[in-house]
């Protein structure tokens, strides 16, 4: 088994730089609101964000961090209304063996935590825009970490760990059947630094609910099925996925084609 925590810490650094850029931008906006600087910064920010989006085709490359795969650019128009998706959403626990396409995977990850604004804001709200959530996907090929800025997946652990995950999640069959299980973790320090230990757990639990609901609705809109899973052994999920020490697993979402 190969592990790759360096990719995660590098990713977090990228994220922090973006937050710093974002905060700088917001200060400028207040100071010189009616000058042309905000407009200029907006244009520069927009161009920076656009250049970080992945191309349409999936590209795999090897770098010092291991295998990094570019995801197709997410679509911002779908075939189903929000009202229809809300009406049709039901927890689905039985899946066919059909794997998800890279486009579907990209779309689901984008719904969870994708960048939707040149200033770095995401598809789900976050207290103070501190973004404590991290996303992993568990598939036959291995465990991957999502980088929303680069729209890439980094291989963290090679090999099929779906059975191991199933065993530490009360042997829930949906995890065994699903071609992909999305795993939400949180790095509490990111939020606690600003909001303290009393409010942080509450904020993070709210945030993971926002992000998970986005995924569930996106799955419906793609014709896929999903179920949110909260019943699992935290420590053993942490160990099976070889998560970094500061990550706490919060939610699992097996996703696949309904059977």
Binding site for ligand FMN (CB under 6 A): 90-91, 93, 172, 227-231
Q: Minimal CB distance to ligand FMN: which residue?
A: 230
- Counting Cα atoms < 13 Å in the Cβ hemisphere of 92 gives 22
| Nearest distance, CB of residue 52 and ligand FMN, angstroms | 33
If the CB atoms of residues 87 and 101 are measured against ligand FMN, the closer one turns out to be 87
Task: List the helix and strand counts (H, then E) for the chain.
Answer: 8, 8
| Nearest distance, CB of residue 254 and ligand FMN, angstroms | 9
| Nearest distance, CB of residue 221 and ligand FMN, angstroms | 16
| Nearest distance, CB of residue 80 and ligand FMN, angstroms | 17
| Nearest distance, CB of residue 107 and ligand FMN, angstroms | 20
List of residues 6+ apart from 145 with CB closer than 8 A: 7, 8, 11, 134, 135, 136, 153, 154, 156
Q: Helix, strand or coil for residue 11?
A: helix
Rounded (10°) angle between helices 102-113 and 188-221: 130
If the CB atoms of residues 198 and 231 are measured against ligand FMN, the closer one turns out to be 231
HEC readout, 123-163? CCCCHHHCCCEEEEEEECCEEEEEECCCCEEEEEEECCCHH
If the CB atoms of residues 21 and 89 are measured against ligand FMN, the closer one turns out to be 89
Distance CA 117, CA 26 (A): 13
If the CB atoms of residues 2 and 173 are measured against ligand FMN, the closer one turns out to be 173
If the CB atoms of residues 68 and 208 are measured against ligand FMN, the closer one turns out to be 208
């Amino acid at each position: 088994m190969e592990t790759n925590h360096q990719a995660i810490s590098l990713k977090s650094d990228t994220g922090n730089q973006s937050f710093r850029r974002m905060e700088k931008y917001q200060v400028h906006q207040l100071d010189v609101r009616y000058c042309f600087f905000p407009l200029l910064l907006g244009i520069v920010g927009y161009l920076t964000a656009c250049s970080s989006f992945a191309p349409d085709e999936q590209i795999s490359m090897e770098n010092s961090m291991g295998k990094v795969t570019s995801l197709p650019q997410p679509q911002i128009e779908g075939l189903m209304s929000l009202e229809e998706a809300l009406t049709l959403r039901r927890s689905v626990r039985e899946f066919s063996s059909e794997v998800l396409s890279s486009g579907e995977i990209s779309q689901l990850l984008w719904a969870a935590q994708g960048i939707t604004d040149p200033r770095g804001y995401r598809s789900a709200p976050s207290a103070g825009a501190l973004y404590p959530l991290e996303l992993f996907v568990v598939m036959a090929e291995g465990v991957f970490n999502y980088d929303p800025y680069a729209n890439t997946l980094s291989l963290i652990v090679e090999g099929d760990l779906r059975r191991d995950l199933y065993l530490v999640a009360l042997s829930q069959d949906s995890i065994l059947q699903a071609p992909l299980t999305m795993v939400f973790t949180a790095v509490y320090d990111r939020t606690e630094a600003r909001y303290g230990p009393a409010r942080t757990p509450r904020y993070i639990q709210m945030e993971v609910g926002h992000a998970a609901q986005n995924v569930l609705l996106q799955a419906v809109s793609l014709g896929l099925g999903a179920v949110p899973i909260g019943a699992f052994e935290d420590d053993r999920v942490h160990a099976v996925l070889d998560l970094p020490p500061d990550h706490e697993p919060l939610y699992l979402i097996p996703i696949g084609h309904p059977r």
